[in-house]
Amino acid sequence: MSERPDIKFGTDGWRAIIAEEFTFANVRACAEAVARNLIASGRSRDGLVIGFDTRYGSQRFAHAVADVVNRFGIATQTFDVAAPTPACSFAVVNQSAANGVMITASHNPPEWNGFKVKSAAGGSASPEEVANIELHLADVLDGKSSYSGTHVAQGQVFDVIGPYLEQLHRVIDVDPIKSQPLKIVVDAMHGCGAGIIPKMLAGGAIEVTEIRSESNPNFPGMDQPEPIAHNLRPLSDTVRETGAAVGIALDGDADRLGIIDENGIYFTTLEVFSLLTDHFMGRRNERGGVACTITMSSMVDKLSANYGAPVYRTPVGFKYVGPTMIEENCSMGGEESGGYAFKGHVPERDGALSGLLFLQAMVMSGKKPTELLNDLHALVGPHTFKRIDISYDITQRSHLAEQVASATPASLGGLAVESDDRRDGVRFDLAGGSWAVARMSGTEPLVRIYAETPDDDTLTAVLGDLQKTLGV
């Protein structure tokens, strides 16, 4: 008798290795759980949007989800082509659907795929909704369910890209950006965001070069399609070779942003979000506040204090950030992994929109990325950041989780620990505004440690002491 699969929805959906745990049988079980939850909550008549990215089998997995859900009498609308996760989130709202399912593993390595659930509001499903789906999933996996639908609903395929581009045009006026004789480079990282920014900026004076735009589920030349420094060497090289003003990178499902400055240097995700915060509050006069995770920069707090806007901290994951944006009517939301959201759009990360807003900051200020960063540091002081991902064997998980939960250092890197926050792993607030975080990844077998300090030497010392504290 085969062992019952252990399917759990982490920080942002369920992810697993294709053909090991991510199988058609398990995807169908998740689809059935979503269908049962829609019926139990009385929302089945609103239907389900189903999307997919460019990974192995994603389109076939998406159609398998539709087949299952249709058999429960629930209508489905499925992407006609691979498209960004935020396009799925927008389609849920645009079509007044009850939920969305996106088949994607986002930035994970190529052997992975995933199953994300989107809320009716267009963001990540809330922890409460995910918990309900998991209860139904447990029944499905245990063979306890007995419901059978009275009729098979219709499944349709729809144009996903057209309405999504129209929505982006509503959210941001790109004409002032298009009018500038700038050279920019976009790195699609072989994912489903290819063509989005070039289409948004077509027909103007701006010159857009897109690299790694062809779909390739192997994501060659990178460890995983995550827009971080060591994966963006081709973008850095192209920016330098072409004399471009900026490089913009999107991850595998195009909900995250990476920025390379005019010199080919990578900006950290904390720097990028802080620059966008300064842009929103300073140039656009958006003072609705910021929702961000405990791993986001303290520069955001300083900017918000400067402009008189509130900051709301959450555990890691847009399933926390998105609802907080809605509840507090925030102007923007963000997390350390490079996912940023903005009022007027869905409460969900959108890499292409984030990249366009970064261009807007350059155009409205008339400044290069390095000049924007220098202005930011002049306002809030120097900040340097690093995240270290430490892999482990699954048998170590309980031990490492206990190490994180029980960590109580008096100081890190010579800086006294002034307070801690244990809503998600542990965040240590250190003397002088520095901080460090240790937490178990909710999507991969990794311990993640983070720190932000005023200089590189202190940063190295803080991270080293934290690793010693955890024994990793």
The predicted structure's pLDDT at residue 465: 96
Please report, rounded to a whole number, the percentage of residues in the chain having pLDDT higher than 90: 90
Stretch 437-447: mean pLDDT: 87
Residue type, 103: I
pLDDT at 71 over 80: yes
Phi-psi region of 432 (alpha: psi -120 to 50; beta: other; left: phi over 0): left
pLDDT at 132 over 60: yes
The predicted structure's pLDDT at residue 1: 41
Closest CA to 189 of 51, 319, 338: 338
Distance CA 27, CA 225 (A): 23
Higher pLDDT, 467 or 11: 467
Distance CA 90, CA 345 (A): 8
The predicted structure's pLDDT at residue 8: 87
Phi-psi region of 36 (alpha: psi -120 to 50; beta: other; left: phi over 0): alpha
Half-sphere exposure of 445 (CA within 13 A, CB side): 12
Dig out the tokens for 471 from the structure. 């024994």
Residues in the chain: 472
The predicted structure's pLDDT at residue 148: 59
Question: What domains are defined for the chain?
Answer: 14-161 (3.40.120.10), 178-380 (3.40.120.10), 384-470 (3.30.310.50)
Chain Cα centroid distance, residue 201: 23
CB 222 within 8 A of CB 231: yes
The predicted structure's pLDDT at residue 90: 98
Across all residues in the chain, what is the average pLDDT?
94
Q: Which of 2-16, 224-238, 342-356, 396-410 has the lowest mean pLDDT?
A: 2-16
Dig out the tokens for 223 from the structure. 């460890």
pLDDT at 146 over 70: no
Stretch 366-392: mean pLDDT: 95
pLDDT at 455 over 80: yes
Predicted confidence (pLDDT) per residue in 99-127, tens digit? 999 999 999 999 999 999 999 999 999 88
Stretch 178-200: mean pLDDT: 97
CB atoms under 10 Å from CB of 277, counted, come to 29
The predicted structure's pLDDT at residue 149: 60
Residue with tokens 């209508």: 75
Whole-model pTM over 0.95 = no
Predicted confidence (pLDDT) per residue in 220-248, tens digit? 999 899 999 999 999 999 999 999 999 99
The predicted structure's pLDDT at residue 147: 60
Chain Cα centroid distance, residue 321: 11
The predicted structure's pLDDT at residue 10: 75
Closest CA to 317 of 351, 294, 346: 294
The predicted structure's pLDDT at residue 3: 74
Angle, alpha carbons 49-53-54 (nearest 5°)? 150
CB atoms under 10 Å from CB of 99, counted, come to 25
282 confidence band (pLDDT: 50, 70, 90): very high
